Amino acid sequence: MTWIVVILLALACFAVAVVVFRLPRVLWTSLGAALALGLVGYAWQASPGLPSARAAGAFDAGAQEVDVVVQRQEFIADEDRSTANLLITADAMSRRGRHTDAAAYLAGVTEQNPADFEGWLALGIALTEHAEGTLTAPALYAFKQAAQIKPSHPGPGYFLGVSLIRQGRLAEARQVWAETLAVAPVDAAGRAGLADRLERLDMLLAQLASDNPAAPAGPSPAAPIPGNTNQ
């Protein structure tokens, strides 16, 4: 069971690099080889059966070197920016990796102004980062609140998809992104980036399917989409 977790985390790392960080396709093989080498090293040194051994090892898909504040701002137009001073402090905390503190400040932002779209979006991101990429119930709630304020905005769906990718749930992420893109206005902030990443995700899924043709076809059960009251 431990090996399954390790392999899924390695796949998630690869997917995040390719899709979210837009790794050029010419480097896919090199990254895959590096991760494979890491798996060999894990097999040589790790002791998955010991209670004290950490299953994730070096393949922690949440430990990505990325500025989550910059990623969020890609999806925020001028008219959608929060005016809360606490958001500035929360962003400083996030950039230092202090996501628990950031979430506390952002909870204050949304408490003061429940209609603060960027505040809710930032809170969902901070809670997800605190959980090392796992989509927790509080994070999903924050994304849903943001989506209720701006139902056609691509931001909440994009970051939900990123969390699913980090968990290795690529088919679900693909469905969320496709539905998010379908309803997003053509001129929405971040829409072009979402479209590009969706195309890259499709390329990755196609590559994985060609490498493993015996894999069952069809998407995984859909993840809840922010703002979708039917789920």
Q: Mean pLDDT, consecutive 10-residue segments, the chain of 231 residues?
A: 46 53 48 43 41 38 62 94 96 93 96 97 95 90 96 95 85 93 96 91 81 52 54 51
Q: What is the pLDDT of residue 182?
A: 97
Within 13 Å and on the Cβ side, how many CA atoms surround 53? 14
pLDDT of 213: 59
* pLDDT at site 61: 38
Q: Give residue 133's pLDDT.
A: 84
Topology adopted by domain 68-211: 1.25.40
Predicted local confidence at residue 91, as pLDDT: 96
What global pTM score does this model have? 0.69
CA angle 85, 89, 90 (to 5 degrees): 110
DSSP string over 27-80: GHHHHHHHHHHHHHHHHHH--TTSTT--SSTT--TT-----HHHHHHTT--GGG
Q: What local confidence, expressed as pLDDT, does residue 16 receive?
A: 56
Q: In the prediction, which pLDDT does 20 show?
A: 57
Q: Residues spanned by CATH 1.25.40.10 within the chain?
A: 68-211
